[in-house]
Chain A
Amino acid sequence: MNDQTQSRLLRWAALFLFLQSVILTLSPAVRERAWDVDYRLSHWIGFLAWGALTFLAHRAAIKYLPDRDPYLLPAAMLLSGWGMLTIWRLDETFGIRQSIWVGVSILAFILALRFLPNLTILRRYKYIILSGGLLITALTLIFGTNPLGFGPRLWLGCCGVYFQPSEPLKILLVIYLSAYLADRASIKLFSFPLLVPTLALTGVALLLLLVQRDLGTASIFICIFTVIIFIATGKRRILLSSTFFLSLVLLLGYFFIDIIHVRVTGWLNPWDDPTGNSYQIVQSLLAVANGGTIGRGLGIGSPLLVPVAISDFIFTAIAEETGLAGTLGLIATIWLILARGLIISLRASDRFRRYLAAGVATYLGVQSLLIIGGNVRMLPLTGVTLPFVSYGGSSLLTSFIALFLLLVISDTDDEEPAELHDPKPYTFLAGMLALGLALSALTTAWWTIVRGPDLLTRTDNPRRSIADRFVPRGKLVDKNNLPINVTEGKSGTYTRVYLYPELGPITGYTHPVYGQAGLEASLDAYLRGLQGNPASMILWHQLIYGTPPSGLDVRLSLDLSLQTTANQLLGGHRGAILLINADTGEILVMASHPTYDPNKLSEEGEALAQNPHSPLLNRATLGLYPIGTATLPMVRARFGEDQPTDEELRAYYGKLGLYNSPVLNIPTASDAGNEDPQTLRASPLQMSLAAAALSHRGVAPAPRIATAVNTPEQGWVVLPVLSQPFEAIQPRAADEAALAFIQPGRPYWSHVGQASLDKTIVTWLLAGTLPDWKGAPLALVIALEENNIPLANYIGENLLDTVLNQ
Chain B
Amino acid sequence: MTYSTNPITSLELTLPNELGYELVARDAVAAFARRLGMSLDQIDDLKTALCEACINAIEHGNSLKPDLRVEISCRVEDERLVIEVCDEGVCPFAPKSEPLSIMEKLAGLGSLRGMGLMLISQLCDESGFVSRNGTGNCFRLAFQRRHVTRLGR
Asked if A pairs with B, the answer is no
Which residues of B pack against A, CB within 8 Å?
Answer: none
